[in-house]
Amino acid sequence: MQATQFSQWLILSPLMVLLAGAIVGVLIEAFVPAGARRKVQVVWSVISVLAAAVALTIVGIETYGKMPQTVGAGEYNADGLTFGAQAIMLIIGLLSILVMADQTEHGDGSFAGQPADVPGSRAEEMTQHLGYQRSEMFPLALFSLIGLMVFPAANSLLTLFIALEAFSLPFYILCATARRRRRISQESAIKYFVLGAFSSGFFLMGEAMLFGYSGTLTLSDIAKAVSSKGGNLDWLLLAGVVLMTVGLLFKVGAAPFHAWTPDVYQGAPTPISGFMAAGVKAAAFLAMARFYFTVAGQLGWNLVIFMWIVAILTMFVGTFWGLVQEDIKRMLAFSSIAHAGFILIAVIAMDNQSTSAIMFYLLSYAIATVGAFAAITLVRQTDAEGNILGEANQIDAWAGLGRKSPLLAGCMLVFLLSFAGIPLTAGFIGKFVLFATGLRAGLWPLVVIAVAASAITAFYYFNLARTMFMDEPASTSKAVKSQGITMPVVVICAILTVLLGVLPAPVLNFLTNATIFVP
């Protein structure tokens, strides 16, 4: 159903609010004095996200019972999936921006004063002496958030690609802006850019083949073209779907398209790692769900076998490679790969209940992920004289954190328990509904493998928990206080993780209404 002109603008209002916020953020960079620029950007970015959340709430109220609708000549879907996905994106965006904005009690943040300075150079010393603080990451984050919100809502191949590039390009820049370990940060940005461009090529080539097959760019019309063929397989259709799926699998970090994930998560500024791990994975999986349920799923076993192989390989890589990691950010990267394998089960299951299962799992995973990466920013290395250095990312450096900072260690433990799927956490409910979806669809071999993989991944989560609470405190690390609200964000994420595990019904009931509709 095509929306009226007023409804179209109303449905697009959350995106318009964010776009206006991002544009004003660029103007702030140009006209606000350098000394006040960062504070203004932080306040304005938070206001923009909150205003978009209010607009999205109004959209939900005004369009309740009127979905599904399409906007912009069928380019944009307004349905339950879009509403739920955008709500999740705004939660991720708000929490991530708050962590990005923070500094420690020692006045240093996660971002370089001048990312172009050569590490250890005279120019970098001068930058630190003058106290330069970059603030352009906030409008970049807003631009990426717009792309993340459009990606799952797109009903057109063209809109899909534009949204993909809209959130990818800012992340390529943000990955290179780490304050410390600059070379690793810049290396991760180059890897992400090169491999991201490579995957975008697959994605675009797949779109071209689907257009050649159907003569249309709209997903719903492509689905009709596939149905009209009576199930006859065309090589253009199969190649197009597989190539587009490969592009999406790269974004979710599924094996064998996962190689960028640990390097980028390790090298990027930690708040950006959390934003990417939560936001990009959620947006890409929800876009994959729409594409799979609308078009790709009609290929049946011609595609299911490929997806089974990818899901099993993804769980294998994420599980066993994670066991040998000594860097916490790399460990969380391989953890995210394993979680991608779990979510693929619901994608393969391909029913309406899969949608709510995927969305709840992504919400619970995103909250715990943002909280875990926020906690990492507060554990720092120290030298022999007790001076605070960069983040202590080695697992051994977290030894005894439970004694030095019980609250921080306790929150991190909650996140680890959720990742492992322990009862009374959001992760347990997420895995339960996800695996139940797989069993209903007869995917019990995948579910058995996933349960075994989940049990094995618990070893590296519990290894970190044991290190924090049972080992003697490390003398080379310290939990630092933040000037802003990183610690409150960590606590909020931990509380939400427990609440979603204890009282999941309201959220599950809400997300159950997020059913895929083909306009």
Containing domain of residue 105, as a range?
Answer: 8-515
Count the domains in the chain: 1
In a domain, 2, yes or no: no
Q: Show the low-confidence residues of the chain (pLDDT under 70).
A: 1-4, 64-68, 103-110, 112-121, 123-133, 230-233, 383-389, 474-483, 514-519
Return the closest-CA partner of residue 306 out of 256, 236, 359.
256
In a domain, 241, yes or no: yes
Q: What pLDDT was estimated at residue 496?
A: 97
In a domain, 3, yes or no: no
DSSP code, position 276: I
pTM value > 0.75: yes
Q: Rounded CA gap, 225 and 236, in Å?
A: 13
In a domain, 1, yes or no: no
Instruction: Tell me the CA distances in angstroms from 249 to 39, 203, 218, 242, 384, one per residue in order.
Output: 37, 10, 21, 10, 45
Return the closest-CA partner of residue 288 out of 18, 516, 443.
516
In a domain, 127, yes or no: yes
In a domain, 19, yes or no: yes
In a domain, 250, yes or no: yes
In a domain, 485, yes or no: yes
Q: What pLDDT was estimated at residue 109?
A: 66
Task: Tell whether the torsion through CA atoms of 282, 88, 170 and 115 is positive or negative.
Answer: negative
Cis ω before 423 (30° cut-off from 0): no
Tokens matching residue 111: 């971002």
Q: What pLDDT was estimated at residue 519?
A: 40
Return the closest-CA partner of residue 517 out of 277, 302, 223.
223
- Those residues with Cβ within 8 angstroms of residue 509's Cβ, 6 or more apart along the chain or in another chain: none
